[in-house]
Every structure is written in structure tokens, then in C-alpha cells.
Amino acid sequence: MTSSPFTEVSELGAGRPVLVLHGGGGPFTTALLVQHLAESARVIAPTHPGFNGTARDPRITTVRDLADAYATYLIERDLRNVLVVGSSVGGWVATELALGSAADRISGIVPINAAGFEVESHPARDIRGMSPQELAQYSFHDPSKLRLPPPTPEGVAIAQGNAATLAALSVDSDPKLMKRVHAITIPTLVIWGESDRIVDLGYGRAFAAAIPGSEFVHIPDSGHLPYLENPTAVFAALAPFSPHTQELKSAQ
């Protein structure tokens, strides 16, 4: 891919670059994470093409294609010492980035309840066709605390567009990914909300175990988006990891 197709990119804060990659719900789902990280870093939070009403790029038909686009983005902007934090599908993209052409520009990855892998004893739940209410039941530790806003035509259109883009990316899983992650040499922190019923805790443990030297932190009282339900615990897990990866990169 010769040019990066990102038309919406939010940038906040100053310092070492942190690339935040959202999941299937769109960029608003990682807004709290972006705000927190921007207190001590330069946060770059693009919208994946085809999400949040943006145009889909015909060159991007798989998650691996999307990761290649992000690799090009890092190279074209000459970004180095980048910490990549990805939620759900964004965690899958972060993992692919650690295996791709821009891996030498990345000092650490943080997949959070990442999707995309195949763990035979812990299959991921098929969420295609679920309503927001159904999805919340499987995503949150305590769905009763979730207050969904009344649907609007614009919101429905965005949600449908996000779902269509997910379908176009063939985001069920990559059966070969678990066999490739052993090649990751970048420091990796895997964070997992322990009540996730889309990709459960056993799935997360298996993923982390496949990456040499990775750290695994499970977050209590939280589900698929643990930084929304238990931000204190997630931020506490991130706090020592971010400067540690920066120091490692500087020493090389």
C-alpha cells in the first residue's frame, strides 16, 4: 500500500507517540483511553476506513491489509518508538503490526481483549446480527449499568456502516495467526476483562501464552472493554509498561 487512507485522525497530548486502535464499535469506544494516555504522551487515534461514516478503502479487505496501511502510516510520518494500544479488533491489528514491515518502529504493543485468533477450547462468540442490547449482554460485566442512548437515524447509519465494514474485513478470525505470533519480539502486554463473554478469559490467556515473554493482566469486574468498566485497574496496568518500553527502545 503506497498511501495511508486515514481521513479522520485525532491527535492529543505531547511526548512519545502512542497509536490507539479502536474496535468494531468505532472510535468513541476508546475515547476514555485516548484521554488518559494523552496526559503523558502524544496520542494518535485514527478512525479505521469505513468506520464512523468514513469511506471504505477498496484496497483493504482483510485485517492484515488494515495493519499494512497502519505500517505505511508510521513509515510515511517517520514515527518511531511507538507504543500501539488496540482494543478488540484493534488488538488484532496491533498484533499484525508487530509482525509487519514497521515492527522496528514499534517499542511495545498492548492488545486489550483482542479478537481474531482461533483457540479451539475457547471459541469466540459470533456477534454478527446482534442488536446493541444483545451485544451489551455479552460485552459487559454488569450490563444493567449500561445506559444506551435512544437510537437516532445518524447513529443507526453509523452502526450499520461499522458492521458492514467489519463484515468486509472478514474479521471472524485468522486460523494462522496463533501460529505466527511466536515471532513477535516486541514487548507485549495483554490486558483482558475477565467477564468478557465474546472472547473469554481462557482465550486471552492462550493468546498471551503464544507470544514469547508477554505479560498478561486480567481486569476484574469488567468485560470486553475493560477500560470503560474498570479504568483504574487498566490504567494501573499500563502505567509501568509504557515507560518501560520507551527505555528499552532508547537503550537499543
Q: Where are the domains of the chain?
A: 9-251
Range with the poorest average pLDDT among 86-90, 211-215, 233-237, 244-248: 244-248
Per-residue confidence band for 169, with pLDDT thresholds at 50, 70 and 90? confident
> What are the distances in angstroms from CA 126 to CA 32, 42, 81, 236, 252?
26, 35, 36, 31, 42
The pLDDT tens digits of the residues spanning 92-116 come to 999 999 999 999 999 999 999 999 8
Cβ-count burial 178-193 (b if 16+ within 10 Å, e if not): beebeebebbbbbbbb
- pTM flag (> 0.85): yes
- CA distances 251 to 58, 138, 183, 248, Å, are 40, 43, 22, 5
Q: How far apart are the C-alpha atoms of 11 and 47, rounded to whole Å?
A: 11
Most confident of 24-28, 131-135, 169-173, 216-220: 216-220
Amino acid (one-letter) located at 86: G
Q: Tell me which of 175 and 105 has the higher pLDDT.
A: 105
- Inter-residue contact 23 to 115 (CB < 8 Å): yes
pLDDT of residue 247: 58
Chain-centroid distance of CA 58 in Å reads 22
pLDDT band at 148 (very low <50, low <70, confident <90, very high): low
Residue 45 has pLDDT above 90, yes or no: yes
**Domain 9-251, CATH homologous superfamily name and number:** Alpha/Beta hydrolase fold, catalytic domain (3.40.50.1820)
